[in-house]
Structure 1
Amino acid sequence: MATHSGGLTEVLPGTGTMDERPAVRTTGLVRRFGDRVVLKELDLSVAQGEFTALLGRSGSGKSTLLRAVARLDHTVEGSGELLVPERVSLSFQDSRLLPWLRVLDNVILGLRGPKARERGLTALAEVGLEDRDRSWPHELSGGEQQRAALARALVRDPELLLADEPFGALDALTRIRMHGLLRELYERHRPAVLLVTHDVDEAVELAERVLVLEGGQISVDLRIDLSSPRSRRDPRFQEYRDTLLTALGVAQPQLTN
């Protein structure tokens, strides 16, 4: 079953079997802002359970692509298709916790069923906030707010997690801890993940695959093959990092004797 919007065919959940379909597939995706074309006949496929990071310069269209995949942008065009699973969760740089709801109520907001609170408490325990369920959002630190946001995203057992720079506002030490937590939660739940980030090190540390968006299309598609836990001192980590920085047009410093 499919619907059409601006020439784009949207393949709805339930078309084919889960084993046959990737978590995300776009073909011929186009997004215009006036006369400026940000996404140009873009093709993208993300496998089920795959952790993919998306890099690009400011204004390259990373968040635009994420919004299209999340079905938050209804003005995308194209001659191809847009396929996403039914259960999609989003995480943003701002935790977007509602200040008038306690933490647990934020986590289970919109969740139905007699076990909603039990599931919410389990999700909070997974992110180390089992004792903060009755707290108000303003009583949490920035890192704790992002952990609560992760709990809210994962409590719905998503097939796809879309994350738009979720750690961009955190200090360096908190970011490192959040990287470990996200990777641990990913290994436990195994959703497909599409992470938008400006941080090359973050992309290499977390993802199995890193894409670079340039000129409205995917210009680099790099598989990351590193042992776990990943170390930034690993020579291969530095090789991946240098490859991506070069693709982004960042000159590498020349070492001198």
Structure 2
Amino acid sequence: MTDWGCTVTDLDFARGRAGSGTQFRIRCDGRLDIRYAGGNTNRVPVMGPSGAGKSTLMHLISATTLPQSPKARIAWTFPDGAQLDWGHRGPSPDMLGRLRRRYFGFAFQTPHVPEFMTITEALTFALENRGHSRAQARDAAQRSLHSAFDGDAQKVARIAASFPGQLSGGERQRTSLLMALVQDPVVLFADEPTGSLDGETRRTIMAMLTDWLTPERMLIWVTHHDSDPADTGAPRRLVVADGSVRWDNTAGVMA
């Protein structure tokens, strides 16, 4: 399928602190399409000023935050033809489980790897939860580590046997992303996945993510790095600013 993704209709979401009025507001009058239509349109950087609501927008379209307006609608069409949508009451428990098991994956700026497991154990556990046998899961975990660390057998062996606290920041971030990617989501939502990393490590992480992409996968990530759209070949960026959401061509974005 060459035309799939998300359509957001009549979004109006406000968030504030008690006694301080509205902190920010996101409005999308009419329709906003976040869809794959060929080329690199499955690379969706979400950008804008700090505090404008970038992460909130991503949470809304991933069903981790619910719309407030009774008119709002979030509708997804997936490459397998499945169509799932919800409004301010959210998806049903069955639909939410289906979204999390089959379609959506999540990655964050702070690495999410269980501290009490080695990296091999954590990856194997994640794959077993997807229905793989123990042997299949261990094999797949090793393959994913070799892919993520450029086939460096010595480094892979060290990382595979390590606990998260024994890894560098970049190594932890890569293994955290592997935890999301080995579960084979259709859409990966990443919130500042490279925010605290140096430039070289950041480019390595973004290359790892874009290498994962296919016409049947989509990456939606919040970033404050102006070079991300150009570095990843994204033809446009989704800008959240001044209470609105709009598409912006990346041709003028500084690298």
TM-score (norm 1): 0.72
Matched, 1:240 2:252: yes
Partner of 2:28: 41
SS in 1 for 2:56: helix
Partner of 1:106: 122
SS in 2 for 1:47: strand
Whether the 8 Å CA contact 1:142–1:170 is kept in 2: the answer is yes
**C-alpha separation between the residues in 2 aligned to 1:22 and 1:57?**
28
| One-letter amino acid of the counterpart of residue 93, structure 1 | Q
Q: How many residues align?
A: 209
Query: What is the RMSD computed on CA atoms of the aligned residues?
Result: 2.5
Partner of 1:97: 113
Matched, 1:164 2:191: yes
Q: How does 1:79-90 map to 2 (within 5 A)?
A: 79-84=71-76, 86=99, 87-90=103-106
Q: Cα deviations across residues 146-177 of structure 1 (Å, max 9, x unaligned)?
A: 11122111111111011111001112221122
Partner of 2:230: 204
Matched, 1:24 2:16: no
**C-alpha separation between the residues in 2 aligned to 1:21 and 1:30?**
26
Matched, 1:53 2:74: no
| One-letter amino acid of the counterpart of residue 44, structure 1 | L
Q: Percent identity?
A: 25
Structure 1: which 5+ residue stretches go unaligned? 1-18, 225-238, 245-257
Partner of 1:62: 54
C-alpha displacement at 1:139, in angstroms? 1.3
C-alpha displacement at 1:182, in angstroms? 2.4
Q: How does 1:241-256 map to 2 (within 5 A)?
A: 241-242=253-254
Of 116, 122, 137, the residue aligned with 2:164 is 137
Partner of 2:85: none
SS in 2 for 1:26: strand
Of 63, 68, 71, the residue aligned with 1:71 is 63
C-alpha displacement at 1:62, in angstroms? 0.2
Q: Cα deviations across residues 18-60 of structure 1 (Å, max 9, x unaligned)?
A: x386222211122222452521136432224711111100111
**C-alpha separation between the residues in 2 aligned to 1:163 and 1:70?**
11
Whether the 8 Å CA contact 2:13–2:67 is kept in 1: the answer is yes
SS in 1 for 2:26: strand
Q: Cα deviations across residues 192-241 of structure 1 (Å, max 9, x unaligned)?
A: 1111101111232112321211123223431x5xxxxxxxxxxxxxx522
**C-alpha separation between the residues in 1 aligned to 2:121 and 2:235?**
33
**C-alpha separation between the residues in 1 aligned to 2:247 and 2:34?**
14
Partner of 2:213: 186
| One-letter amino acid of the counterpart of residue 5, structure 2 | A
Whether the 8 Å CA contact 1:23–1:47 is kept in 2: the answer is yes
